């Protein structure tokens, strides 16, 4: 009976912590914060499938939400996935400690859960709006556990599930792939390349197929990205800490506005010291277990995940990154260097668990050091509680959006949006700029340049046709020019500041389809030139392969068949 209770302790504790973090967001409304956009309904547009000229950064995430929002409210879907991600991150951290430290007892895995959920990486990615990245983050400890399970039992199912779940975004797919390959190499020792290694590579490619195929079909990854993004998105030193110290404390995101209040003062150094003290407590106990290849592998991965982004933020690192951005296809995916710090989490959680287990054995009291360590981790970031100090809360969209979406059902042509740019400040969205919700809110493709405005300048996007359309509108171009660019509609978002240029001249040539205090929708007259067709069949097949891996892997895990090549 006691064993059964201890088995439930970690998932229940992780769920409690996750609710404490997300609390306000779980009420009615939608997530709309910086890069995060949830809407009542999303659609299977070319943008959702990643086949436009912009990089396929939200693939297969957007298509998944489009599918689920045909049955459930899209806002509920996103909040449920986010809650599931945090919960599984904590539970997975507990499982990795149970797997690699089987004698640690119940308190140690709970400390591992605390480290995985309650840290600056989670806080900063929540505030930046990277909810789907946290799915990949959550998959990492489970990927380690699944790799060990594969080695011990020959069962592939859970590893397939982990890779597919992390593959909800390209970054998540790469994070899980690196972790799985590290485990595969560590467990393979000195044996030659075997069938199991080829099978692992096959699973990784299947999990990544939606964005790989979308990139190949659209050609969006064939050209370089703006080198200005390398410096703009480099890891950042926080107060009282250098870049290396910030990264070691699982902080240092590029956007200084997307951080909890305590990370904007010298308290950041105190909080980092507390977190690292908890982790450091386990270094000696883990050193004594260094013959375990997974422990060595996760330690090496953590060191590289921290040192790599720190080096990338130096002069030579930035120069190398700028060269890669221009000359290496797909290098733009690497430019937000701090996101790779997620790879350190499994080792941090494992070290924290090992430390409190060791201290508990010395004190002959397992709970005392565990409670002290968990409190230290929480005190290190006190304002993560309740929506990161209340910054994470749902919004309500005006009914105008639903009316415009209904107007565009079964319509032709793409949608151009005013004011210029991709970010908005609506009366209902708070003070921080938020990503324009129109591409996910409307049933037609919404043209976006991909240009990002950051401190000190802007980073050019890949949306060349959208850029051409924006130039026509800013110059007051003709309706014919818009039609030649396959634009059938122009949406004016009236309650957000932004550049309008001479677009009034263009709008006066269009017919009004809908107008109220929030939005105005204009119809471009005449024949609309169709945009260049894309091979959505191949992309759709890749999405189906990804779903098959996720669902099939789950069935494979629940009803396993032993297979050991």
The mean pLDDT of 68-92, rounded to a whole number, is 98
Model confidence, pTM: 0.96
Check residue 565 and give its pLDDT.
Answer: 44
Which of 2-16, 48-62, 219-233, 362-376 is least confident? 219-233
Query: How high is the mean pLDDT of the chain?
Result: 92
Enumerate the domain spans of the chain. Answer: 21-390, 400-523
Task: Write down the pLDDT at residue 224.
Answer: 65
Q: What is the pLDDT of residues 461-512, one digit of tens each?
A: 767 889 999 999 999 999 999 999 999 999 999 999 999 999 999 999 999 9
- Spatial separation of the C-alpha atoms in residues 146 and 257, rounded to whole Å: 37
Banded model confidence at residue 229, pLDDT cuts 50, 70, 90 = confident
Average pLDDT for residues 233-249, to the nearest whole number? 96
Residue 187 near residue 147, CB atoms below 8 Å:
yes
Q: What is the pLDDT of residue 564?
A: 46
Terminal-residue alpha carbon distance, the chain = 38
**In this structure, are residues 396 and 33 in contact, taking their beta carbons and an 8 Å threshold?**
no
Q: How far apart are alpha carbons 277 and 260 in whole angstroms?
A: 21
* pLDDT at res. 192: 52
What is the separation of C-alpha 60 from the centre of its chain, rounded to a whole number of angstroms? 12
pLDDT surpasses 50 at 95: yes
Average pLDDT score over residue span 194-207? 88
- Cβ-count burial 281-296 (b if 16+ within 10 Å, e if not): bbeebbeeeeeebbbb
Q: Between 541 and 187, where is the model more confident?
A: 541
- At residue 2 the predicted structure's pLDDT band, cuts being 50, 70 and 90, is very low
Question: How, if at all, do strands 487-493 and 414-418 pair?
Answer: parallel
- List pLDDT tens digits, range 512-554: 999 999 999 999 998 886 666 566 899 999 999 999 999 999 9
Burial (Cβ within 10 Å: 0-12, 13-18, ≥19) of residue 427: exposed
User: In the chain, what are the helix, strand and coil shares in percent, each to the nearest 5?
Assistant: 60, 5, 35
Summarize pLDDT for 156-180 with one digit per residue, the tens: 999 999 999 999 999 999 999 999 9
pLDDT-derived band at 455 (thresholds 50, 70, 90) equals low
Spatial separation of the C-alpha atoms in residues 422 and 432, rounded to whole Å = 13
Taking only the tens place, the pLDDT of each residue in 29-63 is 999 999 999 999 999 999 999 988 778 889 999 99
For residues 430-448, average pLDDT: 95
- In the prediction, which pLDDT does 196 show? 79
pLDDT of 562 > 70? The answer is no
Please state, as a whole number, how many other Cβ atoms lie within 10 Å of the Cβ of residue 544.
Answer: 12
Q: Where are the alpha helices (DSSP H) in 23-156?
A: 46-49, 61-68, 74-100, 107-117, 120-128, 133-153
pLDDT: which is higher, 534 or 107: 107
- pLDDT at residue number 531: 61
pLDDT at 114 over 60: yes
Q: Is the confidence at residue 246, as pLDDT, over 90?
A: yes
pLDDT reported for residue 563 = 46
What is the rounded CA–CA span in Å between residue 63 and residue 41? 11
pLDDT surpasses 50 at 1: no
Question: Would you give the DSSP letter of residue 258?
Answer: S
Note the pLDDT of residue 72.
97
Q: Model confidence at 561, in pLDDT bands (50, 70, 90)?
A: low
Write down the pLDDT at residue 504: 97
Let me know: does 400 contact 516? Beta carbons within 8 Å: yes
- Kindly state the percentage of the chain with pLDDT values over 70: 93
Burial (CB count <10 Å: 0-12, 13-18, 19+), residue 511: exposed
C-alpha 423/C-alpha 451 separation (Å) is: 10
Q: Which pLDDT does position 451 carry in this prediction?
A: 77
Q: How many CB atoms lie within 10 A of CB 4?
A: 7
Is 126 a residue whose pLDDT tops 80? yes
Q: Is the pLDDT of residue 3 over 70?
A: no
Least confident span in 64-68, 277-281, 343-347, 407-411? 407-411
Taking residues 242-255, report their average pLDDT.
Answer: 97
């Amino acid at each position: 009976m006691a064993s059964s209770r201890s088995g439930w302790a970690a998932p229940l504790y992780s769920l409690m912590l996750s609710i404490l973090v997300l609390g306000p967001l779980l009420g009615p409304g939608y997530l709309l914060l910086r890069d995060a956009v949830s809407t009542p309904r999303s659609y299977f547009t070319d943008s959702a499938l990643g086949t436009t000229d912009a990089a396929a950064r939200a693939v297969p995430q957007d298509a998944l939400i489009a599918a689920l929002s045909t049955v459930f409210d899209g806002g509920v879907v996103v909040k449920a996935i986010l809650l599931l991600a945090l919960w599984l991150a904590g539970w997975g951290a507990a499982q990795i400690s149970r797997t690699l430290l089987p004698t640690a007892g119940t308190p140690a895995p709970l400390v591992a859960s605390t480290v995985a959920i309650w840290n600056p990486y989670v806080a900063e990615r929540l505030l930046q709006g990277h909810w789907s990245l946290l799915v990949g983050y959550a998959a990492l400890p489970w990927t380690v556990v699944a790799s060990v399970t594969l080695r011990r039992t020959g069962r592939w199912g859970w590893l397939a599930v982990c890779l597919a779940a992390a593959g909800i975004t390209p970054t998540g797919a790469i994070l899980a792939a690196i972790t799985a390959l590290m485990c595969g190499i560590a467990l393979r020792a000195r044996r030659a390349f075997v069938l199991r290694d080829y099978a692992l590579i096959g699973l990784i490619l299947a999990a990544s197929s939606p964005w790989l195929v979308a990139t190949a079909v659209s050609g969006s990854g064939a050209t370089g990205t703006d080198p200005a993004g390398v410096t703009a998105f480099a890891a950042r030193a926080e107060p009282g800490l250098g870049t290396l110290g910030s990264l070691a404390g699982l902080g240092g995101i590029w956007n200084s506005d997307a951080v909890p209040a305590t990370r904007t003062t010298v308290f950041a150094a105190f909080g980092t010291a507390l977190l690292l003290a908890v982790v450091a407590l386990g270094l000696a106990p883990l050193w004594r277990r260094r013959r375990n290849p997974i422990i060595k592998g996760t330690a090496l991965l953590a060191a590289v995940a921290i040192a790599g982004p720190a080096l990338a933020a130096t002069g030579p690192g930035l120069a190398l990154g700028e060269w890669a951005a221009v000359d290496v296809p797909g290098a733009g995916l690497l430019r937000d260097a701090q996101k790779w710090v997620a790879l350190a989490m499994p080792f941090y959680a494992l070290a924290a668990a090992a430390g409190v287990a060791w201290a508990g054995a010395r004190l002959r009291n397992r709970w005392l050091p565990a409670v002290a360590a968990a409190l230290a981790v929480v005190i290190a970031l006190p304002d993560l509680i309740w929506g990161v100090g209340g910054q994470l809360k749902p919004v309500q969209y005006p009914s105008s959006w639903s009316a415009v979406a209904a107007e565009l059902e079964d319509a032709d042509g793409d949608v151009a949006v005013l004011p210029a740019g991709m970010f908005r400040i609506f009366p209902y969205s708070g003070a921080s700029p938020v990503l324009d919700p129109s591409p996910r809110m409307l049933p037609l493709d919404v043209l976006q340049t991909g240009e990002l405005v950051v401190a000190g300048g802007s980073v050019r996007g890949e949306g060349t046709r959208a850029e051409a359309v924006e130039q026509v509108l800013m110059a007051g171009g003709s309706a014919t020019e818009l039609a030649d660019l396959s634009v059938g509609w122009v949406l004016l978002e009236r309650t957000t500041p932004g550049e309008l240029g001479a677009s009034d001249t263009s709008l006066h040539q269009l017919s009004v389809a809908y107008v109220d205090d929030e939005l105005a929708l204009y119809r471009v007259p005449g024949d609309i030139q169709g945009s260049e067709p894309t091979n959505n069949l191949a992309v759709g097949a890749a999405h189906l392969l990804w779903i098959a891996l996720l669902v099939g892997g789950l069935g494979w895990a629940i009803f396993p068949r032993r297979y050991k090549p």
